[in-house]
Amino acid sequence: MSAAPANLKGVRVLIVDDHGDSLEMFMEALDFCGASVLGASSAREAATRLGGVDVVVTDLVMPDRDGIWLLEQVRGLPRRIPVLAISGIAVAHDTRVAAAGFDRVLLKPVDPFRLCDEIEAVLRERTARR
């Protein structure tokens, strides 16, 4: 964890994970860092909650639809929303994940406050590109 927690005040984050404990842990950390947090336990559920969010954080491997499917749904929206992926499997050699175009891919276990830092960094990079 960084010396001071990331400042995500006013940032609306949708976090998606089919494991309830992980979802709750990430939601609590994001809330602590000031984010307004929505949670979803599946990619299909998350796809119905994309309106008004600033960032999406998704698990890659989930039953039914995966994180790449959700990324495709987000990329189909009229505005650009950063998408970070979290995976319990090594993705360095997975060409499908590399080609998908996530803004970040983090390998589990992810420190929840590192996730806050990564979101802050992605938003800072997006602002710098404008």
Q: What is the pLDDT of residues 92-113, one digit of tens each?
A: 556 777 788 899 999 888 999 9
Give the residue with greater pLDDT, 104 vs 130.
Answer: 104
Phi, psi of 42 (to 5 degrees): -155, 160
pLDDT tens-digit readout, 12-56:
999 999 999 999 999 999 999 999 999 999 999 999 999 999 999
CATH topology of domain 12-129: Rossmann fold (3.40.50)
User: What is the rounded CA–CA span in Å between residue 97 and residue 114?
Assistant: 21
Q: What is the pTM of this model?
A: 0.91
Extract the tokens encoding 106.
Answer: 């983090």
User: What is the rounded CA–CA span in Å between residue 130 and residue 128?
Assistant: 6
Ramachandran quadrant class, 101 (left: phi over 0; alpha: psi -120 to 50; beta: rest)? left
Q: How far apart are the first and last CA of the chain?
A: 28
**Residue 2, pLDDT score:** 46
Residue of 61, 64, 67, 63 lying closest to 100 (CA atoms): 67
Indicate the range of 37-41, 101-105, 115-119, 124-128 predicted with least confidence: 124-128
Confidence category of residue 130, pLDDT binned at 50, 70, 90: low
